[in-house]
Structure 1
Amino acid sequence: MKKLLYLALLTLLTSCNSGGSRSIDFDAFGAYWYQGKAELNTYTLEQYRYGEKREGEAVLVFVTEDFSQKKQVKLDDPQADQGDAQKVLKLNLTKKFVTGIYPYSMMLSVFTPVYDNIPAVKVTASVQEWCGQTFTQLNRKGGKYKARLFSYFEQEADQESSIDAMPEDNLWTLLRLHPSQVPTGEVKLIPSLLDQRLTHEKLEAEEAQIRITSAKQGMAGFNAADLQVLEVSYTSYPRTLRIFYASAFPFEIAGWEEERAGKDGQQEVSRATRKAKMVTDYWTKNKQEHEPLRRELQLD
């Protein structure tokens, strides 16, 4: 633990030149997030696709790790290159559901600096289904994002662009750092990369409104009095996101809603409700004897 806290302090001292430091209770943060373990959350998923609601499951994995500022990848040996090390809070979000005969598998990854007061340094998203696969990556360079999209759709193909806005996907990790880190009011956002893969809307900055309110009802084992709602609504992009989270540290995600208008004008609301949570070093749980842990997480 002392070694981890030392590395965290070192990262803070070496990264203050890139946007200042965040105002967070790092004693509480470190006690929870620097255990050498990840927080695993599983959710019952209701996902709209092709105008119909599909049943599936979603997983949120939150974990801190040392990231290379130069290469924007996980550092294998951060102690060997401490000047390049940057502590990040990583989110891996997965969704799995079936459309008719064939399955969808979607994954989002977000890497947000813990100490540097800057947005996510990298966001990636991939979608696999029987028609083909797509991949999107955002890399923060010079205060903007270099966006690259690789798609099997003819009208999209391979694209590169520069976007000056914060990724919507960064809100998940900012929320877990501390809700005070979430900007509210009118902002420019890059809409969720996974949603963009479903809508095939052009990948660009969009005007949005962010607000945080108290929940009107309980959800997933949380009383309404213990929940807050982070809501993102866009001016012209067809999407509204609501994240339901615990108002007390570590600000666990109870569930979320994604709302948009379908082609027939009907409002489609995709929902995820938490069913289980586990804090563990899952990367060491890779043998057959560990498969019962999936039942504890209520995974199919």
Structure 2
Amino acid sequence: MRRLLLLFTVLSLISCGGNPRSGVDEDQFSGYWYQGKAEINVFDLEQYRYGERREGTAVMIFVTEDFSKRNQVKLDNPQDAGADARKVLKLNMTRDFVTGVYPYHTMLSVFTPVYDEENAFKITASMTEWCGQSFTQMNWKNGSYRAQLFSYFESEGDQEIKLEGPSEDEIFNTIRLNPSIVPEGDIRLIPSLIFQRFSHIPLKVERASISKRSISGNQEELTVEYKTINRKLVVRYQQFFPFEILSWEELQTKPDGQIERTIATRRSMEKLDYWNKNKLQDEELRRALGL
């Protein structure tokens, strides 16, 4: 009965949407992702900032949610939302490191539809440090992103712009759905929102090249390379479902030719209903994850 109900739900979502997404094995996907738990991945982070390497921690939390396509928020009562309800794979990604006396904390959230052949419905990014904070939100509506940028810098203050193209930040989610979905070759791409805040470049669509290659140990690497902004992203992941992210690195070539290399290497992974683990006694779970 449960499998029939799930199948009916999936068919309803597909029939109410636009183009159905190909490449997602429903039996595999539902068996792993629809068990009421999130996947928590903890990474050792080497973050370049202000020309020096900083040690820190990055966390990637992947979880599925019921999402309102119209309002682009998590649904409180998905059973009442009808055709507006969509299943999304959500990534919450944090980075924590220290520069000298003061700390940095970044957070990226990406909401990718599981069954709709569309770009991520919503992407947000925030950065906080002792100088101030910034926040960016992009909403996918009518074939383009409506982006809003807020910053404590005068030159980067409140902005609202339109962007037509997919986002680099969604690549992590798309790999988790199925790496074959990620297009290869030349593509127009919105660079990482966290990178955009670090580099203080204008937020706009750039030309990029995407490639994949198999490496040893049943692993693959996906590389995104921009020519115009001298940026490269390399993501290493398992070749087989559920396509776990094992590491990622960012390379930025500065005007003087110096290459700044940020690396995140996975230390631990756990599936956990973390939203139910909010007691003092649950802090032991953080220690088990290495946090």
User: Which bin holds the TM-score, normalised by the shorter protein?
Assistant: over 0.9
Aligned residues: 289
Q: Does 1:244 align with 2:236?
A: yes
Name the residue aligned to 2:269. Answer: 277
1:213 and 2:205 are equivalent in the alignment: no
Tell me by how many angstroms 1:157 deviates.
Answer: 0.6
Letter in 2 for 1:112: T
| 1:265 match | 257
* Shift in Å, 1:132: 0.3
Aligned residue number for residue 58 of structure 2: 58
**What letter is aligned with 1:10?**
S
Paired residues of 1:11 and 1:82 also in contact (CA < 8 A): no
8 Å CA contact 1:51–1:262 kept in 2: the answer is: no
* Pairing 1:123–2:123 present: yes
Change (3 A) 1:40 1:6: farther
CA drift of 1:23 comes to 2.7
Indicate whether 1:10 and 2:26 are aligned: no
Match of 1:219 in 2: none
* Aligned counterpart for 1:255 among listed residues 247, 250, 266: 247
What are the Cα deviations for residues 101-159 of structure 1, in whole angstroms up to 9, with x where unaligned?
Answer: 00000000000000001111110000000000000011111111111100111111111
Q: Distance in 2 between matches of 1:264 and 1:285?
A: 48
Unpaired runs of 5+ residues, structure 2, are none
Aligned CA distance change for structure 1 residues 8 and 37 (closer, same or farther; 3 Å) = farther
Contact persistence 2:251–2:259 (CA under 8 A) = yes
1:294 to 266, 286, 291: 286
SS state at 1:155 partner: helix
The CA deviation at 1:6 is 4.3
User: What do you get for the CA RMSD once the two structures are aligned?
Assistant: 1.2
- What is the CA distance between 1:206 and its match in structure 2? 0.1
8 Å CA contact 1:40, 1:59 repeated in 2: yes
Alignment map for 1:18-97 (pairs within 5 Å): 18-97=18-97
TM-score (norm: length of structure 1):
0.94
Quick one: distance in 2 between partners of 1:82 and 1:230?
A: 37
> Is 2:248–2:265's contact at 8 Å kept on the other side of the alignment?
yes
Gaps in structure 1 of 5+ consecutive residues:
216-223
Report the more deviating stretch, 20-29 or 135-144. Answer: 20-29
Distance in 2, matches of 1:9 and 1:291, equals 40
Kindly report structure 1 stretches of 4+ aligned residues shifted beyond 4 Å.
Answer: 1-6
- What corresponds to 1:221 in structure 2? none
What CA distance in whole angstroms lies between the structure 2 residues aligned with 1:234 and 1:14?
36
Contact persistence 2:57–2:95 (CA under 8 A): yes
Q: Establish whether residue 193 from structure 1 lines up as the match of residue 185 from structure 2.
A: no
TM-score normalised per structure 2: 0.96
Say if 2:111 and 2:123, in contact at 8 Å, map to a contact too.
Answer: yes
Residue 5 of structure 1, CA deviation: 5.1
Counterpart Cα distance in 2 of 1:173 and 1:290: 28
State the match for 1:109 in structure 2.
109
SS in 1 for 2:201: coil
Deviates more, 1:39-48 or 1:235-244: 235-244
Report the alpha carbon displacement of residue 10 of structure 1 after superposing the two structures with TM.
2.6
Residue matched to 1:220: none
Q: Secondary structure at 2:28's aligned position in 1? A: helix
Q: Structure 2: which amino acid aligns with 1:189?
A: L
The answer for the alignment partner of 1:172 in structure 2 is 172
Deviations 1:197-239 (A, max 9, x none): 0001110000000001123xxxxxxxx3311001000020121
Give the counterpart letter for 1:27 in structure 2. D
Give the C-alpha shift of residue 264 in structure 1: 3.9
Percent identity, aligned pairs only, is: 52
**How many Å apart are 1:263 and its aligned residue?**
5.1
Once the two structures are TM-superposed, the CA of residue 84 in structure 1 deviates from its matched residue by 1.0
